[in-house]
Structure formats: C-alpha cells, structure tokens
Amino acid sequence: MDLPPAKHVDIMAHRYTIKVESTRSGVMSDDELGRCHTTENVILIRDDLPPDAMKDVTLHEIMHAIHFHMELADESSEESFTSRTATGLRTVLVNNPMLCKWIFESETTKKTSKKNATNT
C-alpha cells in the first residue's frame, strides 16, 4: 500500500491530520473513497485503494479543504473559482513538499526510475 508520506498537511495555514481508515472500521460508508472534515481538520482516506487512486482521493479531499478556506461557493464565477483554487493548491504544494512529491510520482514513474537506477 502506498500511503501518504506525512500524517499532517498544511492547508491554507490550517493543519489537517490525514488518516487512512480501514473499510471495516465503520468510520466511512462503503461508497465513500475519502472525506474531509473542515471543522475538525481531518482528512480520511480508504485503505483499500490502489496507489494512484489513493493519491487522487487525497488531492480531492485537500481540494475540499481549499475550497472551504477560500470561501468558494457553487455560485462563484469560473474565474474566481479557478484563480482561488490555483492559489490554494500551489500554497498547499509549496508548504508540503513530501506530499507534493508523493502525489505527482506515479507507479509508472517509480518503475522507470528503479529500472534506470539499476542500469547505471
């Protein structure tokens, strides 16, 4: 299992705890892949996801937190939504370099890197 490299993530100056939950724990329903609790600063991720799906879900839940802290609403204009989301996402990625590396390293990239390292 390819878990997030940190138990915490800084999102817009709010420290969130990342918890990987067993599907048997009953914390999340069977149809949930993840959940973001903005009032508790907790992100939950299912433990049975493939590596790239776990990264997508982690990023998805981070985006929920960004949208909350940037006070974005469904009626926000596309330009406002895009601009604020970009600023929020870049801030998260800059402030969490280990998480950034983990999210953007794909399983294919890992295999290629290992192969190249053994050939040199």
Give pLDDT tens digits for 5-53: 889 999 999 999 999 998 888 888 888 999 999 999 999 999 999 999 9
Is 11 or 105 the better-scoring residue by pLDDT? 11
- Residue at 67: amino acid letter: H
Q: Which CATH architecture has domain 8-108?
A: Orthogonal Bundle (1.10)
Range in 4-8, 36-40, 95-99, 115-119 the model is least confident about: 115-119
Single pTM value for the model: 0.85
User: Residue 82 — pLDDT band, cuts 50, 70, 90?
Assistant: very high
CB 69, CB 97: distance < 8 Å: no
User: Residue 108 — pLDDT band, cuts 50, 70, 90?
Assistant: low
